[in-house]
Structure 1
Amino acid sequence: MARKHSKHDSFEDLHDEEEAAPPPVPCWLCGRPTGTTIVWHHPVPKSRGGRDVVPMHSICQQTLIANFTNSELQRHGTNVEGLLDNPAVRKFVDWVANKDPDFTAPITKKKR
């Protein structure tokens, strides 16, 4: 197996490559850049035949799970605007808009 770098190369080249990090991916629900933890969420639940995944903050995913059933998520599909029409989700997105990308907080349980 070939080495990526020769053992005679300087370490300065290695340091330059590590600094070029890709830009953060935006959250599917709130649009804020994701932090160190990215949750890959199925907009249509796997139990309902969903295969696509989207990047989200864990707090945003918890909010969706607390406010929608799997059937409701299946009906909305990948339509974010339909989810944001829910007053509780809209209130959450407006509240979290100015928070740090790695912000997390406990979410209330499902109301059933």
Structure 2
Amino acid sequence: MKDKTCELCLRTPVQTTEHHLIPKQHGGAEGPTVMLCGACHRQIHVLFTNEELARFYHTPERLADHPDMKKFLKWVKKQDPEKRIVTRRSYRKRR
């Protein structure tokens, strides 16, 4: 549905998807979720492993506070909500 707002970048109207704040494989199937635009959802999964998401980045505030995500959000907020945003694989060293 195109009349939604992304809970991370606050762009509207955008098509949103449900993001489990704690990944399902780590017990988050029935846990809290947020509605995100495709660009923010993809960027989260490019930047963080499921283990990192479950262990620390399990709130919108913590996600938005990460330096790489802050930079992305600052940029994506300026983009047309109708435009498909391409995310690139992160070269950040994952642990």
Is the pair's TM-score, using the shorter chain for normalization, greater than 0.5? yes
Q: Is the 8 A contact 1:34 1:57 kept in 2?
A: no
TM-score w.r.t. the length of structure 1 is: 0.67
How many aligned residue pairs are there? 88
Tell which structure's C-alpha radius of gyration is larger: 1
Match of 2:87 in 1: 107
Change (3 A) 1:34 1:69: farther
Q: Does 1:33 align with 2:6?
A: no
1:95 aligned residue (33, 50, 75): 75
Q: Is the 8 A contact 1:65 1:110 kept in 2?
A: no
Structure 1 unaligned regions, length at least 5: 1-22
Q: How far apart, in 2, do the equivalents of 1:30 and 1:39 lie?
A: 13
Q: How far apart, in 2, do the equivalents of 1:41 and 1:57 lie?
A: 10
Q: How far apart, in 1, do the equivalents of 2:85 and 2:62 lie?
A: 24
Q: Does 1:64 align with 2:44?
A: yes
Q: How far apart, in 2, do the equivalents of 1:34 and 1:25 lie?
A: 5
Cα-Cα RMSD: 1.9
Query: Percent identity at matched positions?
Result: 32
Structure 2 unaligned regions, length at least 5: none
Q: Is the 8 A contact 1:34 1:56 kept in 2?
A: no
Which one has the bigger strand percentage?
A: 2
Which runs of 4 or more aligned residues in structure 1 lie more than 6 Å from their structure 2 counterparts after TM superposition? none
